[in-house]
Amino acid sequence: MSFTAVFLFSSCSSHDSAGLVSCNSQNTEELKIEDNNFEFSPKNGGKTVLDYSVSGIEADKLYDIEFEFTILNDSHFQNDDDIAITVNTKENFDINGKYTYSVPEKHDNTYIIHHIFAADKNGETGFTVSVGTEKNLFYGIIRLKSMKIYDAEECDAIKVLCDKNQEIKFVFNKNDFNDLNAVKLNAQAYLNECVNLKRYLCEFSGVDDVTYIFVFNENISHSGLSGQIIYINHSEIEDLFSQNIEDTTTINNFISLLCHEMSHRFDFDTDFKSTFEYCFDKEFFTVLRQIYALSSCGYKISYDYLGDKEYLSNNIYNYQDFLKEYLLSVDVLNQPQNWKFISNVIKNHSSINKHITDYKKVEMLISETSNEARYNIIDKFGKKKYECVLNHFANCNS
């Protein structure tokens, strides 16, 4: 079963006091979503996906979609404790949209879902509503009562924190923000630290205009997912925000997570071609930038931050071991002035032919870093380890 609706919003949307977006939609049966019943066999169960498109909203603006569902009497999911209703932004509007899982709020037999999205440059988005899964079918009748779209920053159910320049935004369900003491107490401090991290990530990569939106109201299968929106797993936020933020020299897991996901933006976003085209291993470059930003913010980092196991010397490729040897070759953690050898390479290779092999990109990185340092950095970590790296990428490109 599937259902399609297209919502056409006026280009000059207005808002009421709660941030509800007013719209001029065509009054057709296709556009009416109130009292839509979806009935599944009480014996065999079922699942469905409802498909929606939205246009005419303000480009690059942050919105909240509110869905309200009612599960009618004697209806249930296969797993009674798992309400398998989720809203997902379509992948062409959000690279990680299909990997999020909504957290429905229960009000008697009614459930409300809040889903955050950013309209694209054309003022459009698309999303799906999934009811049931292959392993958690729905039995009976579910009613989609209403859908409303709000300006997220004016919506009563959403809490948005941001810095004074609107470069970093943290988005929460307001109930989470008010009820979870660690979140309410520490959220602003973590946001402020993200502002500092952003400055160094951009400085290292030679990029100025980057904004970050962190959404904390979706469940995901990882602690974090980076994309146009960075998702932090809702089920972990209380533990994450409980970690000590007052000691600005000791890295906690949450600081590492936030910086890691921020750094990933430079790997997939083609607006940042200077790092995108050079990338032969996303995690290598993500953690490279991450370590620069963290150390520049004053956090104490040793080379063991990248692990203490030797892989390359045993002829096993491991990006962390390769990165560790690469950083050691110019000893940036003990001689921070040497970061310029690496940063200059990153900033100055935007004209690289992106069609060359990863093998060649590795060779270029080593060669250009050696030129900056004015010695052959291979001599620092040995030809055997370097050959292990080259063999790995030779096999990948064969």
Confidence of residue 18 (pLDDT cuts 50, 70, 90): low
What's the rounded mean pLDDT across residues 285-314? 93
Q: Please state which CATH class domain 159-260 belongs to.
A: mainly alpha
How is domain 2-156 classified at the architecture level of CATH?
Sandwich (2.60)
What's the rounded mean pLDDT across residues 115-136? 90
What's the rounded mean pLDDT across residues 107-117? 90
Mean pLDDT of the chain: 85
What per-residue confidence (pLDDT) applies to 365? 92
What's the rounded mean pLDDT across residues 49-78? 88
What per-residue confidence (pLDDT) applies to 36? 61
What's the rounded mean pLDDT across residues 70-92? 89
What per-residue confidence (pLDDT) applies to 47? 86
Residues 6+ apart with CB under 8 A from 145: 34, 35, 68, 69, 70, 110
What's the burial of 334, exposed, middle or buried (CB within 10 Å: 0-12/13-18/19+)?
exposed
Confidence of residue 41 (pLDDT cuts 50, 70, 90): confident
Please tell me which residue, 384 or 49, carries the higher pLDDT value: 384
By the 8 A CB rule, do 180 and 241 touch? yes
Confidence of residue 38 (pLDDT cuts 50, 70, 90): low
Could you tell me the residue ranges of all domains in the chain? 2-156, 159-260, 302-397
Please tell me which residue, 249 or 254, carries the higher pLDDT value: 254
Rounded-to-integer distance, Cα 348 and Cα 151, Å: 40
Please tell me which residue, 4 or 335, carries the higher pLDDT value: 335
Rounded-to-integer distance, Cα 310 and Cα 156, Å: 52
What's the rounded mean pLDDT across residues 134-141? 90
Lowest mean pLDDT among 49-58, 151-160, 281-290, 322-331: 49-58
What's the rounded mean pLDDT across residues 65-93? 89
Kindly tell me if the per-residue pLDDT of 279 is higher than 90: no
Kindly tell me if the per-residue pLDDT of 199 is higher than 60: yes
